[in-house]
Amino acid sequence: MQQFPCPYCGLRNETEFHFAAESGKTRPDTNTPIDDKHWSDYLYQNYNPKGTSKEVWMHLACREVFLMTRDTVNMDVLEVQALRGEHHD
Amino acid sequence: MYTYVHNKQEADPMTLPYSAWQIAKQSLTNHKNWTPAWRTKQPKKHYDVIVIGAGGHGLATAYYLATQHNIKHVAVLEKNWLGGGNTGRNTTAIRSNYFYPESVALYDLSVRLYENLSAELNYNVMFSQRGMLVMAHSEAEMEMASRMTNAMQINGTDAELWGRKKTAKRIPVLNYSDTARYPIHGGVWQSRAGTGRHDAVAWGYARAADKAGVDIIQNCEVTDFIVEGGRCQGVNTQLGEIRGEQTAMVVAGHSSPLASLAGFSLPLHSYALQAFVTEPIKPVLDTVVFSPSYGTYVSQSDKGGLVFGGALDRVPSYGQKGNLPMQEQVITGLIEMMPIAQRAKLLRHWAGIVDVTPDSSPLIGGTPLPGLALNCGWGTGGFKAIPAGGFLTAHYLAKGGHHEISKPFDLSRFERGELIDEGAASGIAH
Amino acid sequence: MTSFRHTSWGQVDRQKSIPFTYHGKAMSGYAGDTVASALMANGETIVGRSFKYHRPRGFWGASWEEPNGFFDIQVGQQHFTNCQGTSTQLLAGMSIQSINGFPSARYDIKGGLDLLQRFMPAGFYYKTFMAPDWHLFEPSIRHMAGMGRLNGENLHADSLSQKQFRNVQTLVVGAGIAGLEAAYQAAKAGQRVLLVDDKANPGGSYYGGQGLIEEQASADWIAQRLAALQAMGAEVMLSTTAFGIYDHQLVALAQQDNLTSTSKLIKLRVEHLIIATGCIDRPLLFANNDLPGICSAHAARTWLQSYGIVAGQRIGLAINHRGYAELSKQFTAAGAEVVDINLNNGPISAHGWRQLKSVKQGRQQHQLDSLLTSASLTPVLSLWSQAGGQLKWHAQWQTMLPADGPAWCHVVGSAAGHFGDAECLHSSRHYAQRIPHKDTAFVIVNQQPNDNQGRQWVDFQNDVTSKDIALAARENYTSVEHLKRYTTLGMAIDQGKSSNINALMLMAECTNKPVAAVGTTKFRPPFTPQPLSMYRGKSSGKLLNPPKRLPLEQEHRHMQAALKEYGGWLRPAWYGTQAWDQAVNQEVLHARTKVALLDATPLGKIEVMGPDAKAFLNFVYYNNMASLTAGQIRYGFMLTEKGVVFDDGVLTCINNHHYLVSCSSSHADGVEGWLEAWRQDGHNPERIFIHNTTAQWATLTITGPAAKSLMQSMDWGVDLDNLAHMQFTQGSFKQHPVRIARVSFTGHTSYEISVPSSQAKSLWHTLLEQGKPFDIAPIGLEALSVLRAEKGFIIIGKDTDGETMPQDLGFAGPLRNKTQAYIGDRSLRLEKAQGTNRQQLVGITVNGQQPLATGAHIVTGELENKQSIGYVTSSYFSPTLNAPIALALVKNGHQRMNQKVTVFNQGSQLIATVTQPTFVDLEGNFIDA
C-alpha cells in the first residue's frame, strides 16, 4: 500500500488515487489539420520511464487533479504539484 | 494457415537426448555424464540476428530463426539469467479464448505449437490441456459468454457455452451458493486451454536453440544501440560491441527504456502484475478458472499449490514486487469464488513487470529505427503466446516482413486507429 | 530418537493436561506445548514424509524453520492443513494426522519410492513423460503430489479475520534480548515503539533458559526490560509475525493467538524498522543427515528450555562453531549422555534405518539416538532483504550478513552477525549505527562432502541432495534462480529457510566460484505462510463489493419486487410472484396502454455550473450543445478521444450557467471523474464547477399514455400543460423542490420527477395513490429494457462495444456539421472511422415467436469459411408486437436493410431479416399520445 500526498488533502492511501496519464501531453487543436501520426502520438505514445516519471493523477476522494513526480522503480514520491497555479491550503 | 518446417533432430554429441531410457542409462553412472542444457558462450563480434532478451519470446525467436529459416548466426543477449522475467513469473495459463479473428489466429497458432512442443524440443514443457472456464455471473454476463463462444467457434477454435449445471458437475469446488456475491450462471469453456510449466518452456527453447547453434549469452546487458546510416547495426553491451544485421528487442516490461535508447517511444505502460501460490495441497481443482467479476483466476499446479492472480496493480511500476491492496482484492475474490481456499495458506507471492498497450494486444514487427524489430506488449498474457510470438518474430526477421497472422499487430495500427481491443469487445480484460 | 519429557524443565504447565489424538490414538500434552513438543513427549519420532521420495523424517527445527513435521489438524468443526508442528500451539481436542504418508508418516506405503531415487534425480520429469503424451502421466503425478488435504466441510465455522491500519515510529521485530534492548533504547529516546514477536513468549533463545544476561538471571533481565518498556508506553505484541515489507515503509503483521482464534492483518506504517530476528542453524552436510533423530542444535535447546523435551538419551553434538558453548552442560544436566564430536577430525556419516542409530567419523563410531548439529548460524534476513537491504557473504563465518540497505531499517543482534551476548546487546544499544563485527574465528572447519556413505540432504522437504545440486551445475543451471527452480530447492513450505546457504555453498564449489559470485535468491513475502482467510477480512458474501441500495428498497420489496443488480445498484427487475416472462410482458403492456411507475433514482445527475459551463459541455459532448437554451433538454453522446461512444444521456439546460448532465446509472462516477479531469486539465477550473448529485435526488419516472393526465391531476406548483417533450421545469412537491423533465426511454410520454432523496417515499406513495384512477403500476428494469428496445433506444456497453462510434448508431449529424472542437473529433476523421465496413446498429427480425439468442452472430460464408459480420446485442419478445425483436451490430448494416442474413448460435443457424432498429411507433406518435 503506497501513500501519495494529495496537494489538497495530504497523505492518503494509493487506493484513493487514479493514474490519469504522463504529464506534458497537450491536446492538439483539432480545429486545425493534424496528421494521423501526430494524433496517435497524442493518444497512445508514452515515455513510460524506468525511474523518474512525471504524471497526472486524480485524488478520487476530492476529485482534484495534480502532478506527481515519482520513481517508478523504488516508488519514492519526489514531488507533487497542484495543477492550478495557486495552491489551496 | 501457417507453414511449418518439420526438422529432424540432428544428432549432436554435445547434447544427450532426453528420454526415460536415457535417465535409466545415466543412472548407472550416477548421472555424472549429463551434458549442459545450454552452453555458456562468449559473444562473437558479429551475428546475423541479435535478439535482446532471453525470455520465452526471445529464445523462441532464436530457435525458430535457426530451425525454420536456417539462420544460425543468432545471439540471444540476456541482462540477468534466461527465463527470469515474466516467463518465470507468470501463472502459466495457455489459451486462445479470444473474440476477434486476428487474436484467435495468433493465440490458436500458439496453442497448436504448444501441443507439439515437448516432442519438438525434446523437453517436457508439461502442457496440460485441462481446460479453462471463464465464468459468467449474471444473465447479462451469460449473454456476453454466448457472444464470445459463438465468436470463437466461428473463428475456428474450440469453445462451449456452459450453464450452471454443467459447470457444477465439472468443477464442483466452486461456490454455487445462492448467497455468493456473484452467483455462478455458467461460462465459456475451452477444453484445449490449460497450463504449462513456465521454466521448462524457457529452458526447452534455450536447449533446442543452443543445439541449433544459437549463442545464448547471459549476464550481458545492452547499454546502447549502434546506429549508423540511420540503421541499427547492433548493440553495445557490458561485454563490448556486438554487431548484427538485424536486431530484435524482446524485453516485455522493459521495452520502453530500451526504445528510448533507440530514440523512440512506444504506446506502452509498464505495470506490476502479481502472482500467488499456496502451500501444496492434494488436488481440489483440475482446470483453470477465471472470473472477471471476482477479478481472480486460479489453477492448481502439479505440485499441489493453488496458483492464482488477478488484475494489474493500480500504479505504473518497474518494481518487481507485490503490493497489498491488489493481494487483498484477489484473495478475497478467490475465497468467494472457491470457498475451500479460505483454509489454504499463501506460500509466496511475487510480481512481474508487464507492458500494456492501449488495446492490450501485442506489438510485433518493425520500429521507427530500421534494422530494429520488436516483440512486446503482451500485457498480462505473454506466456501463452511464446511459441507464436517467437515463430512470427522469426518470420518477420527472416523474411523482412510480416506473416499474415502478425500483420494486424504491427505498431502502425495505432496510427490507423485499427486497434484490436479484446477487453472492450468482450467485456473481459485479457 | 527416544526423546523424553524432563520432570521439571521447560515452561509448560504440568498442572494443565491437554488431551489430543494423533492418528486416532489418544495422547496428552501440557499447556504451553506445541504440537511438536507434545508428539515428542509421546515418543513419536517419524512425523513426516518428504515430498518426492517419501523418506521418513523427524522434527528438525525450533519453529518456522522446521522443514519436516507438518500436520492436518481438526479442532471442533474447523480443519487446518499443512500445520507446522513446531510453530502450532497444542489445543485441547485437536485431532492430528501426519501428511504425505499413508496410512501415516510412520508406516507409509509409498516409502518404497526412495528405492527408485536413482531414476528420479533433480528435474527428471523435464526429460521424460513426453512420449506418448504427458496427459497420460499427469493425473497420477498430481495424485502423488500435494501435501495436506483441504477440507471443505463446515467452512462457516471459520471465524472471519480482522484488518487494522496502524502506525508507529519504531517497530522492533523480535523480542529476544537484542530486540528487547533495541526497543528499550528507542523508547528511552522518546520513540513511539511497538515490539512484536511471533512466539507467545518474549525472550527469544533465552526463554526458559537458566543462563545469565549481564550477570543477571535471564528471566529477571527479560522481565525488567519488559517492565521498563511498559512504563515508557511502548507496546509489546506477541504471537505476531511481521511477514512482509511493502512500499512506503508499510510492514504487514499477522496476529493470531492460536490456530482457531481470529486472525488479524495489521497494516503498519513505520518510520523506523529494527530487525532483531536472530538466527537459525545451517544444517551440517553429511551422509544421511536427514535421519530422524538429527536436528538443529538451536531447536533441541528450544525444546529443552521451552517444553522440557530432551532430544535423546545419548546425544551427539556436531557443532561447527563456537555459538553453543553451554549446550553440552545443559543436556548433561538434563540427564542425557552427551558425546561431543570434533568436526576437525574429519567428516561424519549417520547410520540407522528409519532413525538414527550411530554416527561414524573415520573409524570411530558413536551409538547415538540424537545428533544436534549446526554448520554455522544463518541470520534471519528476510525482512531486511524485502526492504531492499543487500546481503554480503562472510567467507570465514560461512554466512550471509546484512550489507547496505535503506536508512530506515536497522539490523541488530545475531541477525546482524553479532553472535555473542555482549556484542549482541552492544549492537542494540547503538542500533542506528553500523557496529563492526568482532573478528573472531567463529567457524571451525569447512564442510567436507563425503557422499560415498549416503546422500547429503540440502532441502529436506523437497528431497534435494548435494548430488542434485552437482547435477544442476553439470547441466548449466548455475544461476541461483535456475538452481532453485530446476531442483525445487527452497520451494517447499519452509521456503528454504534452512537450505539456502548450503545450496549456495555447494553451487560455488561445483562451479569453482566464490559464494558471493553465485548470488542470493530473492526473499519474497510472506515470511511464513499466511492463511488466505486473513487477507479477506470480513469481505464475504454481501459485504464484498456491496451494491448500492435504493431509498425505496423497502417499498419495492413490499410490492414483491424481484431485486437484481444493475450497474452496481440493487434494483427491481420486475414485480409480483408470477413467472418472470409473464411479469415482464404484463409490465410492458401496462406501460404501453396505461401508466407505469419506474424507480430511476440511480440515473446519474451531475450538475455543471459557471460562466464556462456551456462551452465546456459543448466540448465534452459529441452533439452540439451550444445552442441549448434554458428549459431545453438534448440527447447526446460523450466520446473518448478514440472516438468511441463512452456514455449517452440527456443534457438539461437549467439556465445559461447551470446544466444537468444525466448519464447511465452505472457510469455516474466515471462520468464525473471524466468531466473533472477535462475541467481541470484543459479548461479554466475557476469558471466551471461540477457537482455529482446522483445520491441527493431520487427520481421516479412515470410513462405511458396516461402519464400526462396523471401529472396534470396533481399539484406541482408549476404549469405542466405546455411542457413539451425534451423540456424541463422546476416546481414544488409538498414544500420541497421538484425537478420535472419530459424525456422518454420508452417512447411513450414520460416524466422524470426528481425530489430530494428524503422525499422519495412520499413521492412514491403519492404517485401510487394519485395514479389509482389511471391504473398506475410499477415496472422493473426488465420491462424497461424491452420498452426501449422496441423503440431502438440503446444501452451503452450492451448495444455498443469498444469500437462503436456515434455514426454507427445513426448519429452522423454532428460529425458533419459541428464546427467547434469536441472530445474524440479527430478520431472520427480517421480512415477507419470513415470506412464502409463498420459495425452499425440495426434491427433484426425472425419468423415465429422465439427471440434470437443475445450473443448470436450474424455470419456470411459456409462451414469452415464462416465469418462473423456482427452479433445480436439485445433480443426480446415484444408483447406490444407479439413478435420477437432484436438489435444487432452488423458490418455495413445500414446498407443491408431488408436483406436476409444467417444468424449463428451455438452451432445452429437460422435466417433472419435486417431492419431499421425501431419496431414500434415508427412515426413517433406515442411521445405525445
Taking CA atoms, what residue in B is nearest to C802? Answer: B424
CA gap C766, A26 in Å, rounded: 52
* Residue C386: its H or E element: helix C382-386
- By the 8 A CB rule, do B242 and B50 touch? yes
Chain B residues lying within 8 Å of A60, measured CB to CB: none
Chain B residues lying within 8 Å of C541, measured CB to CB: 179-181, 336
**DSSP labels for C316-340?**
EEEE-BSTTTTHHHHHHHTT-EEEE
Assigned domain for C30 exists: yes
- By the 8 A CB rule, do C743 and C760 touch? no
Cα–Cα distances in angstroms (integers) from residue C803 to residues C104, C185, C868, in the given order: 60, 64, 15
Contact of C513 with chain B, judged by CB distance below 8 Å, is answered with: no
Q: Is residue C411 domain-shared with residue C262, that is, in the same domain? A: yes
CATH superfamily for B132-193+270-356 is D-Amino Acid Oxidase, subunit A, domain 2 (3.30.9.10)
Assigned domain for C476 exists: yes
Query: Of B256, B272, B294, nearest to B353 (Cα)?
Result: B272
Q: Supply the pLDDT for residue B295.
A: 93
Please compute the mean of the pLDDT values over residues B40-54 and round it to a whole number. Answer: 97
Sign of the torsion formed by the C-alpha atoms of C413, C419, C422 and C426: negative
pLDDT tens, residue by residue, A18-56: 999 999 989 999 999 999 999 999 999 999 999 999 999
Contact of B319 with chain A, judged by CB distance below 8 Å, is answered with: yes
Q: Supply the pLDDT for residue B384.
A: 97
Contact of C271 with chain A, judged by CB distance below 8 Å, is answered with: no
| Structure letter (DSSP) for residue C10 | S
Q: Supply the pLDDT for residue C665.
A: 86
What was the ipTM of the complex prediction?
A: 0.95
pLDDT tens, residue by residue, B71-120: 999 999 999 999 999 999 999 999 999 999 999 999 999 999 999 999 99
Are β-strands C604-609 and C633-639 bridged in parallel, bridged antiparallel, or unpaired?
unpaired
Question: What residues pair up with C310 in beta bridges, in sequence order?
Answer: C4
CA gap C161, C138 in Å, rounded: 37
**For the CA atoms of chain C, what is the radius of gyration?**
38
Taking CA atoms, what residue in A is nearest to B260? Answer: A47
CA gap C888, C854 in Å, rounded: 9
* Residue B223: its H or E element: strand B222-228
Cα–Cα distances in angstroms (integers) from residue C625 to residues B218, B344, C271, C687, in the given order: 61, 57, 53, 18
Contact of C558 with chain B, judged by CB distance below 8 Å, is answered with: no
Assigned domain for A20 exists: yes
Q: Supply the pLDDT for residue C873.
A: 97
Question: What residues pair up with B354 in beta bridges, in sequence order?
Answer: B271
pLDDT range class, residue B6, cuts 50, 70, 90: low
- Picking from C641, C673, C820, the nearest residue to A58 by CB comes out as C673
Contacts of B109 (CB under 8 A, 6+ apart): B1, B2, B387, B388, B391, B392, B405
- Domain B41-124+198-268+359-426 fold: FAD/NAD(P)-binding domain (3.50.50)
Mean pLDDT for chain B overall: 94
Domain of residue A15, CATH code:
3.30.2270.10
Assigned domain for A64 exists: yes
Taking CA atoms, what residue in A is nearest to B359? Answer: A44
Assigned domain for C615 exists: yes
Compute how many other C-beta atoms are within 10 angstroms of the C-beta atom of residue C2. 15
Q: Is residue C593 domain-shared with residue C711, that is, in the same domain? A: yes
Q: Is residue C588 domain-shared with residue C732, that is, in the same domain? A: yes
pLDDT tens, residue by residue, C310-333: 999 999 999 999 889 889 999 999
How many domains would you assign to chain A?
A: 1
Contact of B370 with chain A, judged by CB distance below 8 Å, is answered with: no
Assigned domain for C591 exists: yes
Sign of the torsion formed by the C-alpha atoms of B330, B331, B332 and B333: positive
pLDDT range class, residue B37, cuts 50, 70, 90: very high
Q: Is the pLDDT of residue B9 over 60?
A: no
> Which residue range(s) make up the domain with C891?
835-928
Question: Which phi and psi angles does C264 have, rounded to 5°?
Answer: -130, 130
- Picking from B316, B323, B358, the nearest residue to A44 by CB comes out as B358
Compute how many other C-beta atoms are within 10 angstroms of the C-beta atom of residue B168. 15
Domain of residue C514, CATH code:
1.10.10.1100
Geometric angle at alpha carbon C117, from C494 and C63, rounded to 5°: 15
Residue B268 and residue A53: Cβ atoms within 8 Å?
Answer: no
Q: Is residue C181 domain-shared with residue C205, that is, in the same domain? A: yes
Contact of C250 with chain A, judged by CB distance below 8 Å, is answered with: yes
A72–chain C nearest CA distance, Å: 11
CA gap C299, C61 in Å, rounded: 5
Domain of residue C632, CATH code:
3.30.70.1400
Q: Supply the pLDDT for residue A88.
A: 43
How many domains would you assign to chain C?
A: 6
Question: What residues pair up with B74 in beta bridges, in sequence order?
Answer: B49
Taking CA atoms, what residue in B is nearest to C641? Answer: B417
Residue A75 and residue C685: Cβ atoms within 8 Å?
Answer: no
Q: Is residue C658 domain-shared with residue C704, that is, in the same domain? A: no
CA gap C50, B194 in Å, rounded: 28
Give every residue of chain C whose pLDDT is below 70, as ranges.
1, 441, 447-451
Tell me the pTM.
Answer: 0.96
- Picking from A29, A60, A75, the nearest residue to C821 by CB comes out as A29
* Residue C164: its H or E element: strand C162-173
**DSSP labels for C119-158?**
G--TTHHHHSS-SS-HHHHHHHHHHH--SB----TTGGGS
> Residue ranges per domain, chain B?
41-124+198-268+359-426, 132-193+270-356
Assigned domain for A35 exists: no
Q: Supply the pLDDT for residue A87.
A: 42
Contact of A63 with chain C, judged by CB distance below 8 Å, is answered with: yes
Q: Supply the pLDDT for residue C448.
A: 61
- Picking from A15, A47, A73, the nearest residue to B265 by CB comes out as A47
C610–chain A nearest CA distance, Å: 17
Query: Which amino acid is present at C21?
Result: T
Residue A30 and residue C826: Cβ atoms within 8 Å?
Answer: yes
Question: Which phi and psi angles does B343 have, rounded to 5°?
Answer: -100, 5
**DSSP labels for B165-185?**
HHHHHH-TTS---TTSSS---
pLDDT tens, residue by residue, B347-366: 999 999 999 999 999 999 99
Return the partners of chain C (3 or more C-beta pairs < 8 Å): A, B
Contact of B316 with chain A, judged by CB distance below 8 Å, is answered with: yes
Are β-strands C13-22 and C94-98 bridged in parallel, bridged antiparallel, or unpaired?
parallel
> Which residue range(s) make up the domain with A4?
1-25+45-89
Q: Supply the pLDDT for residue B425.
A: 64
Q: Is residue C483 domain-shared with residue C622, that is, in the same domain? A: no
- HSE, CB side, 13 Å, CA atoms: give it for residue C662: 26
Question: Which phi and psi angles does B278 have, rounded to 5°?
Answer: -90, 175
Which of B303, B308, B360, B422 to probe the C interface (max C CBs under 10 A)? B303
- Picking from B269, B323, B415, the nearest residue to A48 by CB comes out as B269
Burial of C886 from C-beta contacts in 10 A (0-12 / 13-18 / 19+): buried
Q: Supply the pLDDT for residue B1.
A: 47
Assigned domain for A36 exists: no
B98–chain A nearest CA distance, Å: 23
Q: Is the pLDDT of residue B430 over 60?
A: no
